Structure 1
Amino acid sequence: MKISFQTKEESNKKQLDDFLKLSKSDRIYSFIRLSESISKFPVKNKVDKNKDNFIIYIKPKL
């Protein structure tokens, strides 16, 4: 493992350069992997907008 000390700007530039070095298809796969990993992050409970609502069902006449 290599540890390097750099500023945020330097780090961002290196990430961008490394990303742009990838082929177009590799960029897409990289984006998809990133999206999948972000979806696994824990999040706060979502507010259910319909929680306090009620639904009336009317049975059809047969």
Structure 2
Amino acid sequence: MKFVLEVDMAEGAVAKDAVGELGRILRYWAGNLKHYELKPGDGAEISDSDYREVGRWAVTETTA
């Protein structure tokens, strides 16, 4: 399996304060980790502090 977290840092709150927003995104995601099995197919959108979608995380299969 592979865990992928992708955030577009070009616009919105992340562009204005990358360190603060990425820290908030990672804390929020880590706090919600217990709600997921973390199996292939799991994932969700990632929002900044303005509630704009700025990315996505996902668990995927890996190919050998």
TM-score w.r.t. length of structure 1: 0.33
Between Structure 1 and Structure 2, the one with more strand by share is: 2
Between Structure 1 and Structure 2, the one with more helix by share is: 1
TM-score w.r.t. length of structure 2: 0.32
Q: Which has the higher contact order (CA 8 A, sep 6+)?
A: 2
